[in-house]
Chain A
Amino acid sequence: MKQPRTPARLIALSAGFAFLYAPIALVVLYSFNASRLVTVWGGWSTHWYVALFANKQLMASAVTSLEVALASGAIATVLGALAGLALERFGRFRSRGLFAAMIYAPLVLPEVIMGLALLLFFVALGLERGFATLIIAHSTLSLGFVSIIVRARLAGLDQSLEEAARDLGAGPLTAFIKVTLPLIAPVVATGFLLAVTLSLDDLILASFNSGPGSTTLPMRIYSEVRLGVTPQINAMSTLLIAFVGVSLLLAALAGGRGQNQAAPQAADLKQQ
């Protein structure tokens, strides 16, 4: 089909992408600025990166964040995949509405509500706030995202493959492991990546639910940003952006040349 109104389309695309990427590009650019001031370009320099790696507090919180992200990512992926499976394959069951509501709500619910609720819960249980509470909070936040991605992928799968396996004598567990799991593996991996990203990104749940020894990177960045723009944060941000960029690239490559593998949410929404 002829593509109508091509100039308008190109204008919309370039304006849209400029808006999306300019702020990120600026952060990266200014992380190499020798000058401390945003308005002065003092030439190229990497000394903010040197300062960053010498910043023990920041490095320690980066390690904390990574540990929490990997642990909560793993929990959220397992629970989310199971939840997606239950929602898509089990038909109707009692209190399915409540189950689905609990899965979908955390996706849009303001995080201050969830953060406060979980904190009050941990206090009532007498749990010391720290790593464990942080991991629980982030797992609860992320599992809904994982389950939606997995569910959409399952919905797009041909169920007759599983049925064929069952007809040929495979038990439900075998059929799942040998047939279903390999088919949904790429989205499960993407779900894990998303869960890790959400955890690394979260400031609010972490602020409510972490203890003295478990300050996360976003908490540290937040307290520094409140004091003003510092080039070290630019350098930190650049590293995080590079990390996300490489992860996305790897995910795209791992997903092979399949359609929309690197943009699973989009594929999901399309399928629905």
Chain B
Amino acid sequence: MSKAAPARGKFGRRLVLALPYAWLVLFFLAPFALVLKVSLSQSALGQPPYEPVFDSLDPADIWAKLSALSLSAYAGLIDDSLYLQSYLDSLAIAAAATFLTLLIAYPLALAIARSPARWRPLLLMAAIAPFWTSSLIRVYAWIMILKDEGLINHALIALGLIKEPLHIFATNWAVLIGIVYSYLPFMMLPLYAAIENQDKALIEAAADLGASASGVFWRITFPLSLPGVIAGALMVFIPAVGEFVIPDLLGGSDTLMIGTTLWNDFFANRDWPAAAAAAVALLALLVVPLVFYERLQMRAGGDRP
């Protein structure tokens, strides 16, 4: 082989890597640096509505700007009990929703994994298909179902089970239902993979040795599926903490989630530094689960961390 080929190969490889790399640095990494910067500036009237920092490379100027760096947006976060409350509520709602999603997704994943092999791909596809439809529409469907004059209340009253409509819509319960429904596939897939991969001989051996069905489940199936449980939980929990659409459409006025708070700061109050500070704080809240998640992905991809 000529010498030119490897050289060309090397160039080709560089190009393959450079394109997505450059794109991500430009449109993913740089914007995040900017969020940090804006969160450290003071809100101002105008366009853009914040006092710029670090816009010049003149050292004297940078020094002047450094001393003008403002933590006021962050101080605002701490002072405002609304923010603190929405952080705590976001965490609590996301954690509860993750647990509920696990409770619902696990039996389904288990049932699919234990179905005859030729049915499994079809069942799995059917379980994921709703995820391909618009998430906005799926949340909207639940408004129709849960409203005071919605389908559930209508059906329950018609059946004579209740006299007054249940107030589920515009409460945190509705938000929980919405998150569970929207994120079910994210939990299902890793669970299914973790259960399906198990060696069936272990279950047979345990049953032969006299373990009951629940004994087999709690001592073999469930422990072996833990990596799937963790992966699924992270894939639900992380985005759920910052969820906007679901609390906004299904939640009530007392539902405080950080995604909606950030949104309102930005769109309604036009306080960009406050929104940016909220974003940074949300990110800080998610750093630990995000690092876990990244490591899991790397390992799943066959890398050693």
A positions within 8 Å CB-CB of B: 1, 3-5, 8-10, 12-13, 15-17, 19-21, 23-24, 26-27, 30, 37-39, 78-80, 82-83, 85-88, 90, 93, 97, 99-114, 116-118, 120-121, 123-124, 136-137, 139-140, 143, 147, 151, 155, 169, 171-173, 197, 200-201, 203-204, 207-208, 218, 221-222, 225-226, 229, 233, 237, 240-241, 244-245, 247-248, 252, 259-260, 262-263, 265-266, 269-270, 272
Q: Which of B48, B189, B242 contacts A266 (CB 8 A)?
A: B189
- Judging by beta carbons under 8 Å apart, are B20 and A248 in contact? no
- Judging by beta carbons under 8 Å apart, are B21 and A12 in contact? no
**Contact A240 to B134, CB < 8 A, known contacts A16-B104, A39-B149, A79-B23:** yes
Give A137 Cβ to nearest chain B Cβ, in Å: 8
Interface of A is mostly: helix
Contact residue range for chain B?
35 or more
Show 19 A/B contacts (Cβ-Cβ < 8 Å), sorted by A. A15-B108, A16-B111, A19-B181, A19-B184, A20-B184, A27-B137, A78-B19, A82-B16, A82-B19, A108-B293, A109-B238, A111-B244, A113-B242, A116-B35, A151-B301, A172-B5, A201-B134, A237-B141, A266-B124
Q: Which residues of B contact A221 (CB under 8 A)?
A: 134, 136-137, 140
- Judging by beta carbons under 8 Å apart, are B128 and A172 in contact? no
B positions within 8 Å CB-CB of A: 1, 5, 8-9, 12-13, 16-17, 19-21, 23-25, 27-32, 34-35, 38, 48, 104, 107-108, 110-112, 114-116, 121, 123-130, 132-138, 140-145, 147, 149-151, 154, 181, 184, 189-190, 192-193, 196-197, 200, 204, 213, 234-235, 238-239, 241-245, 249, 259, 262-263, 266-267, 272, 275-276, 279, 282-283, 286, 290, 293-294, 297-298, 300-303
Q: Which of A13, A99, A102, A169 contacts B115 (CB 8 A)?
A: A13
Q: Which residues of A contact B115 (CB under 8 A)?
A: 3, 9, 13
Q: Which residue of A has the minimal Cβ distance to B289?
A: A108
- Judging by beta carbons under 8 Å apart, are B23 and A143 in contact? yes
- Judging by beta carbons under 8 Å apart, are B28 and A16 in contact? no
Q: Which of A5, A240, A263 contacts B128 (CB 8 A)?
A: A263
